[in-house]
Amino acid sequence: MKKDILAVFGIVLIIALLISGTHIQSADEYYLTHIDDITPESETVTLSIRCDTVLQNYENLDPALKSAEFVPPDGVILPPTEYVLREGDTVFDILERAVRYNKIQMEFQGAKESPFGSVYIQGIHYLYEFSCGSLSGWTYRVDGEFPHYGCSLYKLSDGQNIEWIYTCALGQDVGAGWMGEDEK
């Protein structure tokens, strides 16, 4: 019987380890994020989320998403909004704060799970990678340029303009010249 107690203890230990690594929040608690008020001294950045390319390739879109609720007719998921920049904020931090504040659904792959060592945005507002053809996904642009690395590696500075845009052709249709690794 002693051996059994040891085995049970080991299993309990593993379960406890698994649970301690997770962080559970209720929906209200999650959306209750604090957005800093904009004061004259605070540094700010502008963020917008758009999906115009989906409207141009509407026939390729997943039938389940073909409604104005999931794809807004003007392609704007989040209009350009100013957010306060905190010390050391990356593009991902700003995006996460903004979608939480506006209650926009988002799914991402953590930096640890991604082979690029950066957070990968899988879907925003129910619009996922591959939802509109096999070359579609989310990409981002800062001050009109596509950084060729992940959004949690990009450190922001005052006054920058971030655009999250949905592409249906690996970035070619939104002006990113480099093939392949644009989707971050």
**Which residues bind to another protein, rule: CB under 8 A?**
1, 3-4, 6-7, 22-27, 29-30, 63-65, 70, 96, 105, 107-108, 110, 123, 126, 128
> What is the chain's alpha carbon radius of gyration, rounded to the nearest angstrom?
20
| Phi then psi dihedrals of residue 168, to 5 deg | -110, 5
Q: To the nearest whole angstrom, how small is the minimum distance from the Cβ of residue 160 to another protein?
A: 24
Q: To the nearest whole angstrom, how small is the minimum distance from the Cβ of residue 74 to another protein?
A: 19
Q: For residues 94 and 85, is the Cβ–Cβ distance under 8 A?
A: yes
Cα–Cα distance for residue pair 131/127, rounded to 1 Å: 6
Which is closer to another protein, CB of 6 or CB of 88?
Answer: 6
Q: For residues 79 and 48, is the Cβ–Cβ distance under 8 A?
A: yes
Q: For residues 35 and 103, is the Cβ–Cβ distance under 8 A?
A: no
Which is closer to another protein, CB of 22 or CB of 39?
Answer: 22
Q: To the nearest whole angstrom, how small is the minimum distance from the Cβ of residue 105 to another protein?
A: 7
DSSP state of 90: B
Cα–Cα distance for residue pair 50/93, rounded to 1 Å: 18
Which is closer to another protein, CB of 97 or CB of 141?
Answer: 97
Which is closer to another protein, CB of 108 or CB of 140?
Answer: 108
Which is closer to another protein, CB of 1 or CB of 177?
Answer: 1
Residue 171 region by backbone torsions, left for phi larger than 0, else alpha for psi between -120 and 50, else beta: left
Q: To the nearest whole angstrom, how small is the minimum distance from the Cβ of residue 24 to another protein?
A: 6
